[in-house]
Amino acid sequence: MVLAGALAIVAAAGAVIGVMSIDPATEPAPSRSGDLVASGVDLKAAAASQPVANPERWVGPQGRIGQFVVTCRYTHSAPDDPIVHPGMSGMSHRHDFYGSKGVDASSTARSLLNTETTCNKTVDTAAYWQPTLYDHGKVIVPVEINAYYRAAPGVDPKTVATMPVGLSLITGDFTSTTPQPGDATGWTCGSSGKLADDPPTCSSNAPLHLVLTFPDCWDGHYLDSVDHHSHVGYSRRGRCPTGLGVHIPQITGSIKFPISGAGHDLTLASGNIYSAHGDFFNAWDPAGLRREIDHCIHRNAVCDLASNREEEALFEANP
């Protein structure tokens, strides 16, 4: 189940956290994610109780609307999650990380900002992660993530605002044991736009990818929420849910694995392959992110795809 919409905060947990009262172009707000640990919220129950989102999304370099893409190589893996289990090293199932190097359970937006990154845009020091993939119980080391940033379908590109430093986004349901409704997570080969609930058999020229599409609507006030979902949501036909009226870039992350051919037995560190999910923790250089949004999304210009021709060619061959 994908978590989205204008959701009520769990009453027993108190108020949402991380008030965004700063200019994102200046200093990031201090991390208050430790409040989540003290709240006593049952995160699995909160996740399972939320309504299903069915974001209108697309994969890879499809269409020619304003967008830019960042390619970030795999950095490391660890049983850490600085959004859900901040400061609690080893508390999470194992995740694969991309972008800012050295991310761990204690990482904050402040600690990640301006750090060394594996992304081809050095101003992107954000962190991206997803549960580790296994094949017959053996760890599969991913190659990279291609993160596409653009206006969601039907959204006027000129209305897309920059994301504040410290904004947390999660997509997918790590508790799921059956196919997740909607298109926020899915499996495909190369940059094909055809998503499947189960990993397809892919060729070596277009290996297996996990595709994650993040929320594109924000409440304009909070960097996170107790359930990690209520502060953001998905637009439908260009309109955001009530209370989540700020359009932000929709990020579609396509994670490349060195998996092709038949005979695989794939699972995730979070469970079976239906438990796919992903996290994004914004630590972009604010001026750098604003520049990308202004030059590409606001101008409805297609940026960076020339450096991603292999992905584009694979999509054109497998529409």
Q: What pLDDT does 182 receive?
A: 78
10 pLDDT exceeds 70?
no
189 pLDDT exceeds 50?
yes
68: nearest Cα among 306, 316, 305, 307: 305
Average pLDDT over residues 183-195: 87
Q: What pLDDT does 247 receive?
A: 97
Residue of higher predicted confidence among 27 and 297: 297
Residue of higher predicted confidence among 134 and 312: 134
Q: What pLDDT does 64 receive?
A: 66
The average confidence (pLDDT) of the chain is 81
Average pLDDT over residues 301-316: 58
CA–chain centroid gap for 254, Å, is: 10
Tens-digit pLDDT profile for residues 229-286: 999 999 998 999 999 999 999 999 999 999 999 999 999 999 999 999 999 999 999 9
Provide the whole-model pTM: 0.81
Q: What pLDDT does 102 receive?
A: 86
73: nearest Cα among 121, 138, 115: 121
Tens-digit pLDDT profile for residues 116-132: 999 999 999 999 999 99
Tens-digit pLDDT profile for residues 57-82: 444 444 568 899 999 999 999 999 99
Q: What pLDDT does 194 receive?
A: 83
193 pLDDT exceeds 70?
yes
